[in-house]
């Protein structure tokens, strides 16, 4: 066992002495040492219940014959950080989380690791660490929040964000918005729809790194406690069998995750995170894989925010195992941490509601829910959640409205300075430019709340999983390094074609060359973690990993 490096032989007497200070017994010294990375805190609603789940994981580890050692990572709530300076710190936290888990795992020579986490950057950060350390690992995701209710309607976080736009448009009062904000988020768990947190939980299960059914179980459901215990037991068996993270996170497994992503119509952020996980696992996943899979795998679950269904509805319809079943002819039969293959899991379940999880011959859309767009405005790619775009906007030409920050764009939107048909360009919000590549749920929701139907938004930043509508993010190269998005001027014609997967700046090449010759990088002063991050972060098409 790896942990023998810290506990076996007379030369390790000092190490054992410190372990005995924790109460470790002679018999426990002979058992596998299992780390439990817990992102519990009291600022993120998706994490406030994880301390209780951690108790069940520890009990499961002990019952399975291991010794649990719990430690913590940080966690940021993207919703609380949204729309202000704090959002620049969210994506960099993913790297901090991956680093912190690696540091503790490698320093203490754990034999296996259980990652207990929820929410946007924490789940991918822990998966990156698992792949990096390449020891036996299981992820337990904390589960979605239940829906809120007011006025006989189901509510989620995007209803509140879009309410801001409705107030600005004069169709909702501030008092009504306060009523909405008090009712929308009823308790612990990740935000209710297929936003980034829940999409990443589904991707984790789809790639085989969580026990079957884990992703969709609501945070408050007793089944979540049970699966936490089972995961603790199972990690010990994985250690005994030497099944390591990279044995599960293979190219085929990651393509299965993309297949489920396409079928669900998940967050655009999964492209960023799956690319980063692939990088850590040494898997050659590319943006082309997303389009190739999306052309074959149909969109079969109409989940929030593009559709009506929250995560608890997916759970009651059979969860990810039921999605496996519906897609079984399109999936690859990979091994999972449960010891079962994808086909085994699909064969063990029944689709409980085919109105929620449709068959591949009766899809919502014939193609997958995400598309990678290339073209003169995004030579290295960009991402859109096509499942949440009205067909009327799949092809669009319009004049550019150019803003050098999210705040400038938000002021114009709330100030009713945007016209139908225009294409909003928000730049210098990319990985290095922001820095930190902030999410932009505030402007996209404000547009929806104000009732715009023919306004597109393009950015080198990114979007919350709660975004819907013709919103294109992750434009690469970003403005900060002189990508074409830096050269766009007010009134330039931009063309979007989701059918052809094209994003074009319709300006003569000679004009763009002159603009490029006159372009200069911005002068700015950065300090602290953002200063380091801006210097070493890769572009979005590389997953915004660190060099």
Query: For residue 216, what are its two tokens?
Result: 């969709």
Per-residue pLDDT averaged across 508-524, rounded?
Answer: 94
pLDDT in the model for residue 306? 85
pLDDT reported for residue 251? 98
Q: Are 157 and 466 in contact (CB under 8 A)?
A: yes
Q: How large a percentage of the chain has pLDDT more than 70?
A: 100
State the average pLDDT over residues 403-429: 95
Q: What is the pLDDT of residues 56-114, one digit of tens each?
A: 999 999 999 999 999 999 999 999 998 899 999 999 999 999 999 999 999 999 999 99
CA 540 to chain centre: 14
Please state the rounded mean pLDDT for residues 282-293: 97
Single out the residue of 149, 82, 116 nearest to residue 312, CA to CA: 149
Dihedral of alpha carbons 307, 313, 317, 320, sign: positive
**Residue 464 annotated among the catalytic residues of the structure:** yes
Per the prediction, the chain carries an average pLDDT of: 96
Q: Note the pLDDT tens digit of each residue in 468-492.
A: 889 999 999 999 999 999 999 999 9
Position 466 pLDDT exceeds 90: no
Specify the pLDDT at position 158: 87
Which residue, 528, 536, 430, 534, is CA-closest to 486? Answer: 430
pLDDT interval class at 515 (50, 70, 90) = very high
* 406/534 Cα distance (integer angstroms): 18
Q: Which of 233, 229, 223, 296 is nearest to 259 (CA)?
A: 296
Spatial separation of the C-alpha atoms in residues 460 and 432, rounded to whole Å: 10
Q: What is the pTM of this model?
A: 0.95
Question: Among positive and negative, which fits the CA dihedral 317, 321, 323, 325?
Answer: negative
What is the model's pLDDT at position 434?
A: 95
Q: 85-99, 133-147, 152-166, 247-261: which has the minimum mean pLDDT?
A: 152-166
What is the structure's pLDDT at 112?
A: 98
Strands (E), 58-174: 67-72, 112-117, 137-141, 148-150, 153-155
Residue range 133-150: mean pLDDT, rounded: 97
- Kindly name the residue from 90, 100, 464, 504 that is annotated as catalytic: 464
CA distances from 535 to 433, 479, 538 (A): 10, 15, 9
Give the single-character DSSP code of 104. H
pLDDT digits (tens, 9 = 90+) for 185-242: 999 999 999 999 999 999 999 999 999 999 999 999 999 999 999 999 999 999 999 9
């Amino acid at each position: 066992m790896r942990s023998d490096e810290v506990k076996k032989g007379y030369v390790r007497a000092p190490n054992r002495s410190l372990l005995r200070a924790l109460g470790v017994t002679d018999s426990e010294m002979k058992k596998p040492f299992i780390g439990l990375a817990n992102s519990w805190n009291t600022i993120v609603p998706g994490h406030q219940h994880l301390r209780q789940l951690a108790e069940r994981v520890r009990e499961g580890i002990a019952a399975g014959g291991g010794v649990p050692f719990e430690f913590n990572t940080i966690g940021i709530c993207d919703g609380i950080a949204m729309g202000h300076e704090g959002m620049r710190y969210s994506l960099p936290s993913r790297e901090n989380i991956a680093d912190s888990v690696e540091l503790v795992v490698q320093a203490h020579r754990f034999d296996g690791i259980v990652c207990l986490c929820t929410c946007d950057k924490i789940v991918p950060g822990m998966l990156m660490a698992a792949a990096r350390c390449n020891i036996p690992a299981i992820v337990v995701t904390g589960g979605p929040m239940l829906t809120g209710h007011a006025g006989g309607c189901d509510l989620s976080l995007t209803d509140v964000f879009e309410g801001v736009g409705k107030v600005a448009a004069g169709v909702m009062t501030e008092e009504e918005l306060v009523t909405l904000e008090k009712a929308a988020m009823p308790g612990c768990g990740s935000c209710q729809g297929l936003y980034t947190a829940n999409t990443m939980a589904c991707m984790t299960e789809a790639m085989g790194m969580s026990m079957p059914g884990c992703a969709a179980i609501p945070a408050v459901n007793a089944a979540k406690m049970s699966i936490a215990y089972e995961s603790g037991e199972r990690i010990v068996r994985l250690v005994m069998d030497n099944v390591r993270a990279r044995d599960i996170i293979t190219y085929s497994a990651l393509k299965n995750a993309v297949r489920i992503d396409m079928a669900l119509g998940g967050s655009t952020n999964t492209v960023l995170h799956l690319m980063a996980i692939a990088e850590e696992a040494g898997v050659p996943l590319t943006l082309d894989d997303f389009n190739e899979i999306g052309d074959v795998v149909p969109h079969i679950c109409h989940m929030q925010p593009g559709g009506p269904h929250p995560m608890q509805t997916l759970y009651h319809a059979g969860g990810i195992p039921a999605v496996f079943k519906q897609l079984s002819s399109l999936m690859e039969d990979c091994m999972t941490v449960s010891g079962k293959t994808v086909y085994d899991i699909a064969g063990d379940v029944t689709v409980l509601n085919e109105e929620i999880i449709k068959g591949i011959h009766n899809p919502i859309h014939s193609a997958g829910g995400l598309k990678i767009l290339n073209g003169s405005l995004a030579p290295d790619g960009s991402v859109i959640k096509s499942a949440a775009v009205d067909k009327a906007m799949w092809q669009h030409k319009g004049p550019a409205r150019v803003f050098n920050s999210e705040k400038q764009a938000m002021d114009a939107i709330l100030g009713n300075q945007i016209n139908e048909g225009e294409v909003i360009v928000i730049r210098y919000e990319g990985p290095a430019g922001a820095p930190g590549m902030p999410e932009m749920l505030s402007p996209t929701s404000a547009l929806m709340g104000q009732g715009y139907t023919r306004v597109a938004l393009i950015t080198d930043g990114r979007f919350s999983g709660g975004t819907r509508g013709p919103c294109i993010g992750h434009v690469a190269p970003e403005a900060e390094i002189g990508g074409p998005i830096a050269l766009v001027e007010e009134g330039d014609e931009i063309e979007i074609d989701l059918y052809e997967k094209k994003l074009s700046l319709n300006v003569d090449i000679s004009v763009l060359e002159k603009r490029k010759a006159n372009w200069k990088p911005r002068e700015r002063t950065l300090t602290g973690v953002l200063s380091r991050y801006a210097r070493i972060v890769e572009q979005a098409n590389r997953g915004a990993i660190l060099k």
